Amino acid sequence: MVLDSRLIETDRHSSLSTPKIIEDMGKTLSVIPLRQDTLPDSSISPEQYYKKIITQGESEKDAIFCISLSPDQITDLASTQWLERFYELVTSSSLIDFSIPSRYLKINQICERVFIPPGCIHCSSLQDKNKPATIRNFLYSLPETQALYARMMYVSLLVNQYRGDKSRKKSAREFLWQAQNSNAFLFHEGNGIRSYYALQETAFRHLLQAEKSVRDIAGSGITESSISFDYDMDGLKEYLFHQADYNAFISAAGGILFELDVLSSNRNYCNTIQRVKKYDCITDSYSKKMFIDHFIEEDCFPKFLQDASQTSAIFSQIQYTEISFDSYKKEVQLKASALFGLLQQPVSLKKIYSLSKNGIRVQYIIKNNSPLPLKAKFAVESNVSILEDASEQVIELISNEKCEQIDPSKYSVHHTDISLLQITDNNTNNSFIFEPNEVSGLSIQPLTITRPLGEKLETFQQATTFCFFWDLTIAPGYEIEKMLFLGIKSSKKTASSKRKKQS
């Protein structure tokens, strides 16, 4: 739908030249701003109007200017042949094209999430007043808050659709209500980041307990499913794989695994908070989750080893496109293309997620589409959110057939010839085993987060970052393959999983 642009509030991070998506109670609607600030009139020539649009659209890729003219305005412009002259300028240009909203939205699917409060008051009329912030302003302000809100809405949908045992549904609702604690959605400086992180973990735990209540069929175990839909209400599809012992949620934005739940312990091991420069000396340009892809130039690689977010490595911020999704095979194939290095060499990356009861296999097919040989470092980053206390996790790796234990609190630990990595959460006895199909390099570093605690700053390690990397040399037109398997060993099979095997 099109909506008066004056109802849409913008700031320095947003624009009226891009589609928006609005959401309420889990339902979404795509919106194209109907521009009131770019309406043409006879006082400005077609040439001046053309230049105005070009100037405003230069900073936006595929910017859209949606306008609607009244009959009087059309008559005024037609009487001076203004429309004919402007049409000739556009048709002779490669920078502007005429379109309709439905066709534009099919081609450009990335939308900015906004909230429009009830009432038809122009946002411009509120600029000089102390406008109270709505709860949606907070929900959309932080990536981790958006993620928790999306999870809460999804579980709410599962619970409301459940048509089985009434007592089980009641229990699920009670867990859902416990997760809807406002403190888990809003960061309070007085309580500190450690307390906020703990509240988020508690909320995820309650949501997973609610989910299991409606997925657990008495006598049969936890049901499994693979579905694809707009889970986080951003206008794009996500891929949700529900296994008997774990959940794995995959996003086409960066092609990442953004949630990994081990059901026996009700833990989300992708529960990380993005850093900001004001407190952390660096702003993360992508979500610090799992299976994040990086293509890095040789001279930038030392900086990457210090902190992956410090480089301009490609693919971590690219929108992947779906090649295929097979719910029966539990597989999704994604693809992305980019220009790499100073020579701007075209390279493509095909990424295949395959899930089984034992874990997740990720296959990479990298192709050099340029006429020149391509040399680069290829790295796969995963952040496992086990907290800072060294006694809480054990990191072991096998290099040159020798086993070594790593101190997770040390910065920038680098190894070569890695054939296996195992991370164990001592609190739950869950283990994660990363196994490349061929030996690789490995960088290990703590992922810390800093936020105000009253008048002081509080810092703690929210996760550990593991980056597997390989040297690539690809001839023109050729491709190579890499593979990384993540084995998931939960401390114990869930009771429902055991029942399923016995039946």
Q: How far apart are CA 275 and CA 309, in angstroms?
A: 10
Per-residue pLDDT band for 82 (boundaries 50, 70, 90) equals confident
| Long-range own/partner contacts, residues 82-86 (CB < 8 A, 24 or more apart) | 82/40, 82/42, 82/46, 85/46, 86/40, 86/46, 86/49, 86/50
Q: How far apart are CA 476 and CA 465, in angstroms?
A: 33
Q: What angle in degrees, to the nearest 10, is found between the helix axes of 71-79 and 82-91?
A: 80
- What is the structure's pLDDT at 463? 93
**What domains lie within the chain, and their CATH numbers?**
2-126 (no CATH), 133-218 (no CATH), 219-502 (2.70.98.10)
Q: How far apart are CA 154 and CA 229, in angstroms?
A: 11
Per-residue pLDDT band for 10 (boundaries 50, 70, 90) equals low
> 3-class DSSP state for residue 463?
strand
- What is the structure's pLDDT at 418? 93
Per-residue pLDDT band for 500 (boundaries 50, 70, 90) equals very low
Summarize pLDDT for 448-472 with one digit per residue, the tens. 999 999 889 999 999 999 999 999 9
Burial of 260 (0-12, 13-18, 19+ CB in 10 A): buried
Higher pLDDT, 67 or 365: 365
Q: Do residues 267 and 275 touch, judged by C-beta distance below 8 A?
A: no
Per-residue pLDDT band for 110 (boundaries 50, 70, 90) equals low
- What is the structure's pLDDT at 413? 73
**Across residues 283-306, what is the average pLDDT?**
91
- What is the structure's pLDDT at 170? 93
Say whether pLDDT at 214 is over 50: yes
Name residue 287's amino acid: S
Per-residue pLDDT band for 14 (boundaries 50, 70, 90) equals low
- Report the range out of 186-195, 208-217, 472-481 with the highest average pLDDT: 472-481
Q: Read off the pTM.
A: 0.81
